[in-house]
Amino acid sequence: MHELKAETLANWLTEKTNAIKTEITSISQLNGGASMYTWEITASFEGGLLEGTSRLILRSQSDTPLLPSIGIDCEFQLLKFLKSKKFQVPKPVYLDMSGLLTGNPAFIMQKTIGSSKFIGADSKLNILDRKQLTRDIGHQLGKLHKLKIPSNQLRLFKKAGEQSLIDRFYTQLDLLPYSLPVIEWALRWLEKNRPVKRSQSLCHGDFRNGNLLIHRKRLTGIIDWEFAHIGNPLEDIGWFCARCWRFGNDKEEAGGIGHLSDFMESYEITNPRKVNWVELPYWNIVATVKWALIAHRQGLRDSWNSARKLELALTGFKGVQLEHEILKLIKNHERVKI
């Protein structure tokens, strides 16, 4: 069941907020999210903790959550923790673990103003906007990667940290109903060229321009924390900077948004822990392999919504483009070594 009934939601919110009455004035399901369902809601509260009109986001787990997902409960706790540390993340409000609202665990957060659609090459951002935005992003990621996680919060991420990244990729590859020799070869190469293990940080796990909200040319929010885990900070940076996420704006190496040098400078000012930038090309390859595996998997998924089904089938075809990119990246890497 992936239905959200206005009446059920209104009653639940009335109880949670101690309001006299709640009216749901609009409710619409949003696209996106790897394994979550998302709705945007406008609610008017008479009395209670959220008196007035609030724009809210409801995020619900699907029937088939993806393996590395930390789950709704952990994501809710993590957002609370990050908000308390003044990160630019949506403010989580209420958690429904019973499945009353959507049939699956869900939580409500306040809507963050901003959109991720205005970052591409055709956006109205000028050079100075891009520079500032890149620095904002570098600052937020540096702050995340230097964060000390209290031991009572560490349990949130235990599941993701049990298996090495490459082992997880092998598991995902073996779940596909067909063989992919290029990915097999790339994983072998990644294993043989694995960098020395360095200090670990809290990683977002899906840090790319699609999960960054921009309003009036400034960063307003970082969303979709379901793949957060403890890992190498360069995993996030490699994912953010991988060419496959720049959407044609290739000369802006920092996520298709700005220059890598601006990102690095801002990141390092915030986070004095040493990052070995020489390893970044390796992590760009990791990112491209990861996205290729996701694309192949998405191509096999089904949906009740025909437009979504077509989008998934088209995403499946990105797999071969990413395989092409992997071959090119590894060949370049080998050439530089010589």
Please report, as ranges, the residues that interact with other proteins according to CB under 8 A. Answer: 31, 117, 120, 178-182, 184-185, 188-189, 192, 210, 243-248, 250, 299, 306-307, 309-314, 316-318, 320-321, 323-325, 327, 330-331, 334
Does an H or E element contain 271, and which? none
Nearest residue (CB) to other proteins, 253 versus 323 = 323
In 62-148, at which residue ranges do the beta strands (DSSP E only) sit? 92-96, 106-110
Q: For residues 168 and 9, give the distance between their C-alpha atoms in angstroms, rounded to a whole number.
A: 37
In 76-184, at which residue ranges do the beta strands (DSSP E only) sit? 92-96, 106-110
Q: What is the DSSP letter of 211?
A: G
Nearest residue (CB) to other proteins, 6 versus 180 = 180
Nearest residue (CB) to other proteins, 40 versus 265 = 40
CB of 268: closest distance to other proteins in angstroms? Answer: 28
Residues contacting 131, CB < 8 A, separation 6+:
258, 259, 262
CB of 5: closest distance to other proteins in angstroms? Answer: 24
Does an H or E element contain 317, and which? helix 306-337
CB of 278: closest distance to other proteins in angstroms? Answer: 19
Nearest residue (CB) to other proteins, 15 versus 334 = 334
One-letter amino acid of 297: R
CB of 153: closest distance to other proteins in angstroms? Answer: 34
CB of 47: closest distance to other proteins in angstroms? Answer: 37
Nearest Cα neighbor of 236 from 279, 189, 182, 265 is 279
Distance (Å) of CA 227 to CA 35, 262, 284: 11, 26, 18
Nearest residue (CB) to other proteins, 86 versus 251 = 251
CB of 24: closest distance to other proteins in angstroms? Answer: 24
Nearest residue (CB) to other proteins, 141 versus 186 = 186
Q: What is the DSSP letter of 252?
A: -
